[in-house]
Structure 1
Amino acid sequence: MAIDVPASRKTRALFAYLLLADRPQRREHLCDLLWDEGPDDPRGALRWSLSKLRPVVDHGRRRLIADREAVAIDREGIVVDLQRAHHALDAEPSVANDLLAALVALREPLLAGLDMPRHERFAIWLAAERAAAERLRRSLLHRFVVSIALSPEDRLPWAREWLEADPFNADAALQLQETLQQLGRQDDAKVVKRSFADAVTEAGLPPPLAGTREPPISALPSHDMLQRQKIQFCKARDGVRLAYACVGDGPPLVKAANWLNHLELDWDAPIWAPLFQELARDHMFVRYDERGNGMSEARVTDINFEAFVCDLEAVVDAAGIDRFPLLGLSQGCAVAIAYAVRHPERVSHLILWGGYAAGWRIDATPDVVEEREAIITLVRQGWGRTDAAYRQVVTATFMPSATAEELDWFNIFQRQTVNAENAARYLEVFADIDVRAILKDVQAPTLVMHARGDRRIPLATGGELAAEIPGAEFVTLDSDNHLLLGREPASLAFVAHVRQFLSTPVLLG
């Protein structure tokens, strides 16, 4: 039966979080999630919300289970739309009414009306859950259009909705074309075919092979994907504890650390999580938190370029990987290059995005030095403040096309990932990077990609990097973001180019 939830938005948010988490949650964590600012007594505020939920949830049997340390909801007998949607997607054979009910339920934003941007941790969780729900909706549309016996008239609106939700999916475009042809609308089918081809070309994606259909997008919600991560720890050469994660099956793909990383928050990120999860579909994707940030040891003596390279060596050795493709993003490109030169027998392919061979201090004019040093001072003094103005100085050039919500998320993420002193130390190290002398020694086949409108690292810098690496391919993508947004076409193009590059056989000398 339907129930009326309490009017308090925080109480409703607490209810939703406990339902979707589906496991006991520590009271301390719930207080940090929803009462991180405001009440003098967060535990008292939590108790008040639980008292309002109990009569609504229990209904004759105890479903709200709480003790001094943790809180949980027993979901037996409670219908959760997301859970029902997953069951509909997994059912064999597909049940039309179940798929239809799930699609209707997911047309509205997940937990509409529960946005609370001032509560950082809840905002991050909600953004990730909404992204996962949208991926689930795309998979449901795929299953409904492809698996259910519908008349062309009934299939048409759903085929359109599928292509609108997944505009670069060749299977969705083909289904819409075929449906229009069955209805005798040949001209409309040609328009769809031409529009899809133009969109793919403009995004920089390789054209789909004739007659092929794409596999459905993974519909696992982000917290389930997180559970699939295997997070472990190892020691660097100087004893610093490093956190690394492996996720996915297949041949390995290693990502060098960059600004900034957090194994748990990265995987739920509304910005780059879709990109990471696509890479994990084809590979055992290995990434790690650099010393001084994320889940790795924060209080470290050495934060320098040599330590960064040694950290990558330690993670690869701990993961037991022999030969692998290596991915570098931004300043992680220089770390990846240095590793590839030191260990040519282990790097099968080198993939670089938004990279540079020399930091800004190399050959900088006095004006540039003054400006950049001022930014480092601002970071050191104001990084930890709840006002994001100081971090925004760094963020603005990373993702100029980001929405206000995405920028807010990234500002929060940066503060949660690294402290002020380490953030400033990172910027000092990045300024002095110089791997120009070893570019000629790279032996691995190399793909260099760069955003055409990158405002952080100019396109010309990426071109110079590619020109100095023997035999490197250079690909530009239509974006002005230094950090790709998972929702933008260039992100899909990035993954497509990586897949195409890694599928090319490597001739061993």
Structure 2
Amino acid sequence: MTETRVAAPDGAELAVTVIGDGPPLLLIPGLGATRVVFDPIVALLAPRFRVAVYDQRGIGASQLSPGPYSTAQLGDDAAAVLDGLEIDQATVLGASFGGMVAQQLVVRHPDRVATLLLAATGPGGAHLVREPDPSSIDALLGKGARTPADAYRIACTVLYSGSFQEEHADFIEQQVRDRAGRPVAARAFQAQLAASRGHDVWEQLRWIAAPTMVMHGSEDAVMPLANAEALAARVPRAVLDVFDGAGHLFFHEQPERTAQAVDAFAAAHG
């Protein structure tokens, strides 16, 4: 495993971890999430891929730059990560807000994406098929919390399915500790949140040529499944893989199945 830093187009430094040896796979974290959000699947993917995962600007060990942010800007950041690692083309997996950034990457830099995996995400903006319940948004944002740990503990009530919360309380509490140990700057979180609300590449989605798989938990309370169905219908020849019984962070709940799906889809289109 190697740790490095690459420069975004405006010079902001982005922290990157690279592990494994094989075809390149870029992982893009979601709202307020650092690289460690992918830890449950990285070890499963590294034997098959050269996995690169980074902290988006303002998050984790990456440089905090003045806002506002846009998903277009963050898509260019993703391309800069590939540049910095001297990767011409990669399989790209973006999760949640990171899936919106991945959409911008493939729209703005189509030659850089060999295979596209959109996980727990949606089309954004006016094209959201069905918004989550307002109480779910309040929970996701940790409304009423007094500490970072409490905020993320509240968020976990909507990030995971009810059954997973009951059966894996220790795992979730470890996630809370990890997140609390890497507090997100409020202005970076708000800049990402605003970027997610302004995201709109609906028209361009129909021109995506990269083989695309949309992956989604059936019990996602943050981004209802109908949004994944809309993405899969909009992107040419896209396939939809639904993780039955799983919530928003389905790749935490079903890591082996997630890694198998990524491996199989990338291999089929390699």
Matched, 1:323 2:89: yes
Alpha-carbon distance, 1:236 to partner:
1.2
Alpha-carbon distance, 1:482 to partner:
0.8
Query: Which has the bigger relative contact order, CA under 8 A and spacing at least 6?
Result: 2
2:122/2:128 contact within 8 Å kept: no
CA–CA distance in structure 2, aligned partners of residues 457 and 362 of structure 1: 9
Alpha-carbon distance, 1:478 to partner:
1.8
Matched, 1:393 2:138: no
Alpha-carbon distance, 1:364 to partner:
8.3
Tell me which of 253, 264, 268 is aligned to 1:500.
264
- The residue that corresponds to 2:195 in the other structure is 429
**Unpaired segments ≥5 residues, structure 2:** none
**Unpaired segments ≥5 residues, structure 1:** 1-228
Indicate how the Cα distance of structure 1 residues 244 and 302 shifts in structure 2: closer, same or farther if over 3 A, else same.
farther
Matched, 1:296 2:62: yes
Higher gyration radius (CA): 1
2:41/2:255 contact within 8 Å kept: yes
CA–CA distance in structure 2, aligned partners of residues 392 and 374 of structure 1: 9
Q: Return the letter of the residue paired with 1:280.
A: A
Q: 240-249 or 392-401: which moved more?
A: 392-401
- The residue that corresponds to 1:312 in the other structure is 78
CA–CA distance in structure 2, aligned partners of residues 474 and 248 of structure 1: 27
- The residue that corresponds to 2:236 in the other structure is 470
Q: Percent identity?
A: 26
CA–CA distance in structure 2, aligned partners of residues 278 and 377 of structure 1: 31
Indicate how the Cα distance of structure 1 residues 234 and 386 shifts in structure 2: closer, same or farther if over 3 A, else same.
closer
Indicate how the Cα distance of structure 1 residues 262 and 237 shifts in structure 2: closer, same or farther if over 3 A, else same.
same
CA–CA distance in structure 2, aligned partners of residues 447 and 408 of structure 1: 31
Tell me which of 395, 407, 431 is aligned to 2:172.
407
CA–CA distance in structure 2, aligned partners of residues 308 and 347 of structure 1: 15
Higher helix share: 1
Let me know the Cα RMSD of the aligned residues.
Answer: 2.9
CA–CA distance in structure 2, aligned partners of residues 496 and 374 of structure 1: 31
What do the CA deviations read for 1:450-474 (whole angstroms, capped 9, x no partner)? 1111111111111111000000111
SS of corresponding position for 2:110: coil
Indicate how the Cα distance of structure 1 residues 387 and 320 shifts in structure 2: closer, same or farther if over 3 A, else same.
closer
Q: Which runs of 4+ in 1 moved over 4 A?
A: 359-365, 367-377
CA–CA distance in structure 2, aligned partners of residues 398 and 441 of structure 1: 31
CA–CA distance in structure 2, aligned partners of residues 357 and 405 of structure 1: 33
- The residue that corresponds to 1:18 in the other structure is none
CA–CA distance in structure 2, aligned partners of residues 412 and 300 of structure 1: 28
- The residue that corresponds to 2:10 in the other structure is 238
- The residue that corresponds to 1:249 in the other structure is 21
What do the CA deviations read for 1:419-456 (whole angstroms, capped 9, x no partner)? 23322332232223222121101110111111111111
Question: How many pairs align?
Answer: 265
Q: TM-score, normalising length from structure 1?
A: 0.48
1:262/1:417 contact within 8 Å kept: no
Higher strand share: 2
What do the CA deviations read for 1:169-224 (whole angstroms, capped 9, x no partner)? xxxxxxxxxxxxxxxxxxxxxxxxxxxxxxxxxxxxxxxxxxxxxxxxxxxxxxxx
Q: Return the letter of the residue paired with 2:179.
A: Q
CA–CA distance in structure 2, aligned partners of residues 455 and 376 of structure 1: 13
Tell me which of 279, 282, 285 is aligned to 2:48.
282
SS of corresponding position for 1:281: coil
Indicate how the Cα distance of structure 1 residues 376 and 273 shifts in structure 2: closer, same or farther if over 3 A, else same.
closer
1:341/1:443 contact within 8 Å kept: no
Alpha-carbon distance, 1:314 to partner:
1.1
1:361/1:431 contact within 8 Å kept: no
2:12/2:57 contact within 8 Å kept: yes
SS of corresponding position for 2:158: helix
CA–CA distance in structure 2, aligned partners of residues 378 and 291 of structure 1: 24
Indicate how the Cα distance of structure 1 residues 298 and 314 shifts in structure 2: closer, same or farther if over 3 A, else same.
same
CA–CA distance in structure 1, aligned partners of residues 127 and 206 of structure 2: 22
1:455/1:480 contact within 8 Å kept: no
CA–CA distance in structure 2, aligned partners of residues 350 and 374 of structure 1: 29
Q: TM-score, normalising length from structure 2?
A: 0.86
